[in-house]
Amino acid sequence: MLLSVHIELWGFPMKPAPFDYYAPETVDEAVSLLKKLEDDDIDAKILAGGQSLMPMLSLRMARPDALVDLGKIKTLDYIREENGVIHIGAMTTKRAAEDSALLQQKQPLLHVATQHIGHRQIRNQGTVGGSFAHADPAAEYGAVAQALGMEMVVVGPDGERVIPVDEFYLSFLTTDIDCSEVLTEVRAPVMPGGTGWGFQEICRREGDLAIAGVAVTLKMEAGSCVDVVIAVFGVNAIAARLDDAEQVVNGNTPGEALFAQAGKAAAAALDEPITDVHATAEYRRSLIATLVKRCLTEAVSRAA
């Protein structure tokens, strides 16, 4: 008896704590299931690509009673353009987004940000929806969503809701998606012609989560920068636009001194940045000053 227990432990190691596993085949099925689990007071988690959830399960930082795997739902894998808006299905892999010519041509900022997420092996399995839903402070998509004014579509027991980015991210790893809702789609406007954009991040090893990063869009009108948008990620619980820094640049002639001043304004405008094993708050502030400057230069060089 004892021996068999021993063999079982050695033969079949289990890292995650036990959970019930469901693999619904439609969004409606997933939603009814989530609703039922919620009503029964069962702590359920959605599983998409697993690239953030699996480490949390294996380290037992998350111990849900039930997992609802969306992998068998085949209708959430698409990238298409409709009336100037790009629609991306939540279960589209980041690799598919990276390989999408449509995204590369029509929304290059979102495309380049995707290439910066993790390693190829992570992008092959991780989904676009999963990255939005996970809401890691260091996720590239947070800043891109703020910069582009993206919208998230969720489906729940009461039907569909479209959530603007300002209302989507609530806090560290927390979004407005309810327990019984599924994120089905994210939407980004096609990049308007002539827009210049910049994207920069700093991490220890390429593919790791960023210590700090910046996304910028702007236009040039009669030699001046207009419609300047500056968003930062990796420094606070949620990515944010920095109005103060945007105002420094808006309406002015591009130049090194102006961009350095904008960098300083950005660093000063940050709420107390995160301090962790990777970097101190002060280091993050100084990275933001530098990255804002670089992004603005990059954006102006791309603007028509």
Partner 1 sequence: MTVLQQVELTVNGVSYEREVDPRMTLVDFLRHELRLTGTHVGCEHGVCGACTIIKDGQAVRSCLMLAAQADGTSLQTVEGLRNAESGELHPIQQAFIEEHGLQCGFCTPGFLMSTLELLGDNPNPTDQEIKDALDGNLCRCTGYQAIIQSVRLAAAKTQSGKLAGAHGSA
Ligand X SMILES: Cc1cc2nc3c(=O)[nH]c(=O)nc-3n(C[C@H](O)[C@H](O)[C@H](O)COP(=O)(O)OP(=O)(O)OC[C@H]3O[C@@H](n4cnc5c(N)ncnc54)[C@H](O)[C@@H]3O)c2cc1C
Q: Which of ligand X, partner 1, none interacts with 14 (beta carbon under 5 to 8 A by kind)?
A: partner 1
Structure tokens at 295: 């992004």
Classify residue 182 as exposed, middle or buried by CB count within 10 Å of its CB (0-12, 13-18, 19+): buried
Question: Considering CB under 6 A, how many residues would be counted as binding ligand X?
Answer: 29
Give me the least distance between CB of 244 and partner 1, in Å please. 35
Q: Which of partner 1, ligand X, none interacts with 209 (beta carbon under 5 to 8 A by kind)?
A: ligand X
Give me the least distance between CB of 292 and ligand X, in Å please. 20
Q: Residue 281 is which amino acid?
A: A
23 sits near partner 1 (criterion: CB under 8 A): yes
Q: Residue 280 is which amino acid?
A: T
Q: Which is closer to partner 1, CB of 16 or CB of 189? A: 16
Q: Which of partner 1, ligand X, none interacts with 136 (beta carbon under 5 to 8 A by kind)?
A: ligand X
49 sits near ligand X (criterion: CB under 6 A): yes
114 sits near partner 1 (criterion: CB under 8 A): no
CA distance 34 to 66: 10
Give me the least distance between CB of 102 and ligand X, in Å please. 21
Q: Which is closer to partner 1, CB of 13 or CB of 193? A: 13
Interface residue with ligand X among 23, 27, 42, 50 (CB under 6 A) is 50
98 sits near ligand X (criterion: CB under 6 A): no
Give me the least distance between CB of 15 and partner 1, in Å please. 6
CA distance 185 to 163: 11
Which strand ranges, in their side-by-side order, compose the sheet holding 182-189?
79-82, 85-89, 182-189, 151-156, 159-164
Q: Which of ligand X, partner 1, none interacts with 15 (beta carbon under 5 to 8 A by kind)?
A: partner 1
Residues 139 to 178 in contact with ligand X, rule: CB under 6 A: 139-140, 177
206 sits near partner 1 (criterion: CB under 8 A): yes
Q: Which is closer to partner 1, CB of 21 or CB of 162? A: 21
Which one, of 140, 112, 128, 135, lies nearest residue 198 by Cα?
112
Q: What angle do CA 173, 175, 181 make, to 5 degrees?
A: 125
219: three-class secondary structure by DSSP: strand
Q: Which of ligand X, partner 1, none interacts with 189 (beta carbon under 5 to 8 A by kind)?
A: none
CA distance 129 to 87: 12
48 sits near ligand X (criterion: CB under 6 A): yes
> Residue 230 pairs with which residues in a beta bridge?
216
159 sits near partner 1 (criterion: CB under 8 A): no
Q: Which is closer to ligand X, CB of 96 or CB of 191? A: 96
CA distance 65 to 10: 24
CA distance 244 to 19: 47
Element housing 45 (H / E): strand 44-47
**Separation in Å, CA 41 to CA 4, 37, 158, 179:** 35, 6, 19, 11
Residues that bind ligand X (CB under 6 A): 45-53, 70, 90, 117-118, 122, 126-127, 129-131, 133-134, 136, 139-140, 177, 182-183, 207, 209
